[in-house]
């Protein structure tokens, strides 16, 4: 069951006239292509049985079957899939032929790989002068660390963002996720769309260097500028946010359930007081203004926590919202799936996969009223579209394809 | 030339320079009106402006965008023209002041929209209603207008009118997965949700512009920060819950349930981040700390052979075993040894180390921008690099800097009209 398109009579997909040759592997790189595919581009994922994409064999894949990995399904939905074994020279010329009829090339190998195969930008320009190529990398295509082996956590730490996560005055605990990994491809998508737009106006293609380190630091300007202006080095500060107090998550009745409460103005503080029933401790003159509440935030947090512990996180959210306080329960995976707002926003959706059946994946977080994105197909099985791509797009005969399969070129 | 005229002259010259340069930039010719406050809509506008779009930023007369009051400020002296966050987020834009609470103000706003390709907005729900920013209304002003809305919960759904700040969207989106299991959960630092709203907003805007090439119509692009956290960042977590009954919980300086190590550990002069997706990488590190071979305490212990189980049951012990070696070396020494052996460990850099890093210096990532009020300052640079059409950041506008250029030169108001409107608090 694929998701119906939201409120639109048009079947138009914004990127329907573009074709993308997608060489990416593992977690973040493939997301770039899937976003282009969600909005209509024909994205052809190029893989090989010689070296199966680690994402096809991730920890969630309990059967260890390369066509049954849930994360792979999410990050490669809407794509077509072919196999090409670049240890064989013929595979390289086939790749070039595909690129000659494509608009965009996406890759996230370490910088030596594409040049080794003769698929670097300078070479590809000879095949297709207006090709747009984007390389997603850890640290960029230039500089002393350009060849560093890195995953999301490596980049989180290099970028400085990990040093900002922790309790006030305490050691850095790090983001513990792959935030920087996910932040990189979304910036890469923007770069590709801008380059495509530019090419539509001018006919000129170009090369895009999309580095994870740089994309992350671009989201930390407050910390950067405080250092470049004042020499101050930002440290972890828990959930505190300058300009707000109280501002934290508070424990609820159930075990390990929390509600995020954010109070900025004196008016919002009055509303919170009202919701709490004006307990005497809130009459303390130290808390009457924003400066006082900031200075005494630790004490205030403790007092609020004593009150919130009487409520479930859902009840507390409802109560505080009814008093006009910015509050929201922290929802874990089990709860997000059933939250009525997230459901209404179609944040999660289902796709039908030939082997996995109906399976949950992330939805499309851009709500376009006129031409919404669509989940049109599941992620490809290994080599699922070999016959379509090599036969229909590149015009090879079935006998040719057969020979190439036997010789492990299409493999 | 008196000061007022000098400002006009300077801004005319600067605008002309901007327009000449922008012919070589990807989005030159695209006209954007930004009704943005603080971070999300302004970051979206910045990405478009630095890529050549003509972005007119509308600010409230008097105090302007809230980020002008946020800082950081040079020497901690607050000044509406010297806030680091504002200066960074609003590069390459033209700035006008306009009060949309007045009918006259809204009429001028509509005039601006009539000639624009895109409106970006991140207004509070009350303003969104009062100023009639819904798409049905605005599409009547300009049927080709793309309207990009960025908000914590979106412009639809049961929570669309909930009071919400940045952390509330993080909570709904489920990203309080950091911190100590014994203490309150933490989320991503500073305002990552707003930045994600901005970048996703820019992507959605571009999608809508491509669509318009086909349909010749605008549309509404509705971006919610909670959607991004829940659907884009945390979809895999949902799969783990539905199919393997696993719910991610914070585990302090480490992540459980992935191959050990995935953690941050102290070393001689700071902290090291460890990750080893491939077994070969972990083996290389063991050989490094075992001075040429995998240490016996590891080889001979069957408990450690399953790295996922190790991350859950034996992580404390493994951390302790590694610690003596780590404490002998600095971050950079460990980093160098690991790079040599293709082990993906890295220092946990602090912001000063990032700004001063030789790699980013040679790459040329940071940029120096001179502003009439601050002089030259170093800013973060572009998040990606184009070979033919490099992005460039020119300085952020002073409050109302382009009022004359936009209202008089562009919209045809007389100088006297502009004075009247300013006196009336409309501009």
- Mean pLDDT of successive 10-residue segments in chain A (411 residues)? 42 95 90 97 97 86 90 95 96 97 96 94 96 96 93 94 97 91 95 98 96 97 98 98 96 97 98 98 96 97 98 98 98 95 96 93 95 96 97 97 97 95
Q: CA–CA separation, A34 vs A41, rounded Å?
A: 9
How far apart CA A162 and CA A145 sit, in angstroms, is 19
Instruction: Nearest by CB to A176, from B27, B255, B345: name it.
Output: B255
Query: Residue B236's closest chain A neighbor by CA?
Result: A71
Query: Which residues, at least 6 apart from A334, have a Cβ–Cβ distance to it below 8 Å?
Result: B241, B247
Check residue A58 and give its pLDDT.
Answer: 82
pLDDT band at B18 (very low <50, low <70, confident <90, very high): very low
Helical ranges in A101-151 per DSSP H: 113-116, 121-127
Which chain A residue has the Cα nearest residue B51? A194
Please, which residues have CB within 8 angstroms of residue A202's CB and are 6 or more apart in sequence? Answer: none
Q: Is A195 an 8 Å CB contact of chain B?
A: yes
Interchain contact, A164 vs B189, CB within 8 Å: yes
Residues 7-26 of B with CB under 8 A from A: 25-26
Cβ contacts of A160 on chain B, cutoff 8 Å:
349-351, 353-354
Confidence of residue B10 (pLDDT cuts 50, 70, 90): very low
Single pTM value for the model: 0.95
Count of residues for chain B? Answer: 427
Enumerate the β-bridge partners of residue A327: A261
- Contact yes or no for B359 and A143 at CB 8 A: yes
Look at the block and give the residue holding tokens 């318009």: B212
Cα(A369)–Cα(B40) distance, rounded to whole angstroms? Answer: 20
Interface contact B199-A186, CB threshold 8 A: yes
- In angstroms, what CA-CA distances link A163 with B177, B204, B275, B399? 16, 31, 16, 34
Rounded to an integer, the average pLDDT of B374-395 is: 96
Rounded to a whole number of angstroms, the distance from the CA of B240 to the nearest CA of chain A is: 7
Q: Would you list the DSSP string of A174-222?
A: ---S-HHHHHHHHHHHHHHHHHHHHHHHH---EEEEEEHHHHHHTT-HH
Dig out the tokens for B391 from the structure: 């992005």
Cα B77 versus chain centre, distance: 25
Whole-number Cα distances in Å, A309 to A206, A249, A250, A304, B174? 57, 12, 8, 9, 20
pLDDT at B1: 41
The length of chain A is: 411
* Encoded tokens for A219: 């989201």
Task: State residue B189 phi and psi, 5-degree precision.
Answer: -80, 165
Res. B264 pLDDT band, cuts 50 70 90: very high
**Cβ(B177)–Cβ(B249) below 8 Å:** yes
Look at the alpha carbons of B397, B403, B409, B415 in this order and tell me if their dihedral is positive or negative: negative
**CB B388 to CB A204 under 8 A?**
yes
A88, A409 Cβ separation under 8 angstroms? yes
User: What pLDDT score does B6 carry?
Assistant: 46
Q: Determine whether the interchain pair B168/A326 forms a contact, defined as Cβ–Cβ distance below 8 Å.
A: yes
> In this structure, what token pair is assigned to residue B283?
């083996």
Residue A3: alpha-carbon gap to chain centroid = 20
Per DSSP, what are the bridge partners of residue B140? none
pLDDT surpasses 60 at B98: yes
Whether residues A214 and B382 touch (CB distance < 8 A) is answered with yes
**CB-neighbour burial class of residue B368 (10 A; exposed 0-12, middle 13-18, buried 19+):** exposed
Q: How would residue B64 be classed by pLDDT, with cut points 50, 70 and 90?
A: very high
Q: Count Cβ atoms within 10 A of the Cβ of residue B261 and give its class: 0-12 exposed, 13-18 middle, 19 or more buried.
A: buried
pLDDT tens, position by position, B301-319 = 999 999 999 999 999 999 9
Q: Choosing among A72, A209, A365, which should be mutated to test the B contact, i.e. which has the most B CBs within 10 A?
A: A365
Judge contact between A79 and A366, C-beta under 8 A. Answer: no
Q: Find the helix or strand (DSSP H, E) in which A341 lies.
A: helix A340-344
3-state SS class at A124? helix
Residue B91 is predicted with a pLDDT of 98
Average pLDDT score, chain B: 94
pLDDT band at B236 (very low <50, low <70, confident <90, very high): confident
What is the greatest pairwise CA distance in chain A?
A: 86
- What average pLDDT does the segment B234-248 reach? 88
Residue B386, beta-bridge partner list: A208
Q: How far is A400 from chain B (nearest CA, A)?
A: 37
**B164-203: pLDDT as tens digits:** 999 999 999 999 999 999 999 999 999 999 999 999 999 9
The single-letter DSSP state of residue B68 is G
Q: Are strands B219-224 and B262-267 parallel, antiparallel or unpaired?
A: unpaired
- What is the C-alpha to C-alpha distance for residues A75 and A379, in angstroms, rounded to an integer? 8
| Residue A348 CB neighbour total at 10 angstroms | 23
CA distance A90 to chain B (A): 29
Query: SS3 breakdown of chain B: % helix, strand, coil, rounded to 5?
Result: 45, 15, 40
What pLDDT score does A28 carry?
80
d(CA A68, CA A88): 28
On whether the CB atoms of residues B235 and A74 are closer than 8 A, the answer is: yes
CA-nearest residue to A366 within chain B is: B223
Tell me if chain B has a CB within 8 Å of the CB of A300.
Answer: no
- For residues B94 and B410, the answer to whether their CB atoms sit within 8 Å is no
At residue B2, the pLDDT reads: 46
- Mapped onto helix, strand or coil, the DSSP state of residue B230 is helix
Compare CB distances from A365 to B200, B363, B384 and report the shortest one's residue.
B200
Q: DSSP 3-state assignment of A240?
A: coil
> How far is Cα A130 from Cα A206, in angstroms, rounded to an integer?
7
Encoded tokens for B299: 């080889």
> Which bin fits B197, alpha (ψ -120 to 50), beta or left (φ > 0)?
alpha
Q: Give the pLDDT score at A26.
A: 85
B52 φ/ψ sector (left φ>0, alpha ψ -120 to 50, else beta): left
**Catalytic choice (A181, A266, A315, A358):** A181
Q: Is B40 helix (H, G, I), strand (E, B) or coil?
A: helix
Q: Phi and psi for A86 in degrees, rounded to 5?
A: -75, 0
**Cα–Cα distance measured from residue B354 to residue B71, given in angstroms and rounded to the nearest whole number:** 20
Return the ∠ at Cα B14 (arms to B12 and B17), rounded to 5°. 110
Tell me, what's the pLDDT at A62? 83
User: Rounded CA gap, A26 and A72, in Å?
Assistant: 8
CA angle B46, B50, B53 (to 5 degrees): 90
Residue B95 and residue A330: Cα distance in Å, rounded?
A: 38
* SS3 call for B141: helix
Residue with tokens 């970028």: A159
Residue A226 a catalytic site member: no
Residue B33: which residues within 8 A CB-CB, separation 6 or more? B55, B56, B58, B109, B112, B113, B116, B118, B119, B120
DSSP, res B24:
G
Q: Given A60, A182, A336, which is nearest B240 (Cβ)?
A: A60
């Amino acid at each position: 069951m694929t998701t119906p398109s939201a409120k639109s009579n048009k079947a138009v997909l914004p990127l329907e006239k573009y074709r993308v040759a997608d060489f990416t592997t593992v977690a973040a790189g493939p997301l770039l292509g899937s976003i282009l595919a969600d909005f209509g581009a024909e994205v052809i994922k190029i893989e090989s049985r010689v070296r199966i994409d680690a994402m096809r064999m991730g920890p969630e894949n309990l059967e260890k079957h390369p066509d049954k990995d849930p994360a792979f399904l999410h990050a490669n939905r809407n794509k077509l899939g072919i196999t090409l074994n670049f240890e064989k020279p013929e595979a390289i010329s086939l790749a070039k032929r595909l690129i000659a009829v494509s608009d965009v090339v996406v890759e996230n190998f370490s910088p030596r790989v594409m040049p080794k195969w003769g698929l670097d930008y300078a070479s590809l320009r000879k095949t297709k002068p207006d090709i747009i190529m984007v390389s997603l990398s850890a640290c960029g295509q230039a500089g002393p660390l350009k060849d560093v082996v890195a995953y999301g956590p490596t980049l989180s730490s290099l970028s400085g963002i990990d040093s900002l996560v922790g309790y006030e005055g305490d050691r850095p605990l790090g983001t513990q996720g792959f935030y920087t990994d996910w932040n990189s491809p979304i910036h890469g998508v923007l770069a590709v769309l801008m380059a495509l737009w530019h090419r539509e106006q001018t006919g000129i293609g170009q090369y895009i260097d999309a580095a994870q380190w740089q994309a992350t630091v671009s989201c930390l300007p407050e910390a950067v500028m405080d250092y470049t202006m004042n020499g101050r080095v930002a440290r972890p500060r828990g959930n505190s946010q300058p300009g707000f107090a109280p501002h934290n998550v508070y424990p609820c009745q159930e075990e390990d359930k929390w509600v995020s409460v954010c109070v900025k103005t004196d008016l919002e503080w009055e509303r919170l007081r009202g919701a709490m029933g004006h307990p005497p401790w809130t009459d303390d003159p130290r808390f009457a203004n924003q400066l006082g509440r900031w200075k005494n935030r630790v004490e205030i947090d403790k007092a609020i926590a004593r009150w919130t512990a009487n409520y479930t996180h859902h009840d507390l959210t409802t109560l505080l919202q009814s008093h006009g306080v910015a509050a929201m329960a922290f929802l874990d995976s089990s709860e997000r799936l059933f939250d009525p707002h997230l459901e209404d926003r179609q944040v999660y959706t289902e796709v039908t996969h030939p082997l996995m059946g109906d399976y949950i994946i992330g939805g499309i977080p851009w709500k376009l009223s006129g031409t919404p994105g669509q989940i049109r197909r599941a992620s490809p099985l290994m080599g699922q579209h070999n016959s379509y791509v090599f036969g229909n797009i590149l015009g090879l005969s079935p006998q040719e394809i057969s020979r190439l399969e036997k010789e492990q070129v299409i493999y | 030339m008196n000061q007022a005229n000098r400002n006009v002259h300077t801004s005319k010259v600067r605008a002309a320079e901007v327009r000449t340069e922008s012919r070589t930039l990807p989005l030159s010719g695209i006209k954007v009106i930004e009704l943005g406050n603080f971070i999300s809509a302004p970051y979206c506008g910045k990405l478009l402006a630095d890529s050549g779009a003509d972005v007119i930023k509308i600010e409230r007369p008097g105090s302007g965008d809230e980020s002008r009051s946020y800082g950081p400020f040079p020497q901690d002296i607050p000044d509406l023209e010297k806030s680091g966050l504002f200066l960074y987020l609003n590069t390459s834009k033209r700035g006008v002041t306009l009060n949309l609470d007045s009918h006259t103000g809204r009429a001028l706003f509509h005039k601006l929209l009539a000639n624009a390709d895109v409106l970006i907005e991140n207004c509070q729900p009350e303003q969104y209603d009062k100023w009639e920013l819904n798409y049905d209304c605005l599409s009547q002003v300009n049927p080709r207008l793309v309207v990009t809305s960025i908000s914590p919960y979106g412009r639809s759904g049961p929570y669309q009118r909930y009071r919400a700040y940045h952390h509330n969207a993080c909570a709904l989106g489920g990203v309080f997965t950091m911190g100590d299991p014994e203490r309150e959960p933490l989320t991503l630092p500073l305002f990552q949700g707003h930045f994600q709203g901005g970048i996703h907003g820019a992507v959605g805007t571009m999608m809508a512009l491509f669509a318009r090439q086909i349909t010749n119509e605008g549309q509404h692009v509705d971006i919610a920060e909670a959607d991004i956290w829940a659907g884009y960042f945390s979809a895999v977590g949902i799969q783990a819950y539905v199919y393997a009954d696993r719910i991610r919980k914070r585990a302090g300086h480490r992540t459980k349930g992935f191959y050990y190590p995935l953690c941050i550990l102290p070393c001689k002069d700071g902290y090291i981040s460890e990750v080893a997706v491939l077994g070969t990488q972990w083996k290389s590190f063991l050989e490094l700390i075992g001075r040429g071979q995998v240490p016996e305490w590891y080889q001979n212990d069957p408990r450690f052979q399953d790295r996922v189980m190790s991350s859950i049951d034996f992580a404390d012990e493994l951390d302790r075993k590694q610690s003596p070696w780590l404490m002998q070396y600095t971050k950079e020494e460990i980093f160098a040894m690991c790079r040599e052996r293709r082990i993906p460990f890295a220092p946990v850099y602090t912001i000063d180390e990032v700004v001063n890093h030789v790699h980013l210096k040679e790459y040329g990532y940071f940029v120096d921008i001179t502003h009439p009020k601050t002089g030259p300052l170093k800013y973060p640079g572009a998040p990606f690099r184009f070979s033919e059409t490099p992005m460039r950041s020119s300085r952020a506008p002073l409050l109302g800097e382009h009022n004359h250029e936009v209202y008089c030169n562009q919209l045809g108001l007389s100088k006297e009209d502009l004075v009247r409107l300013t006196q009336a608090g409309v501009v």
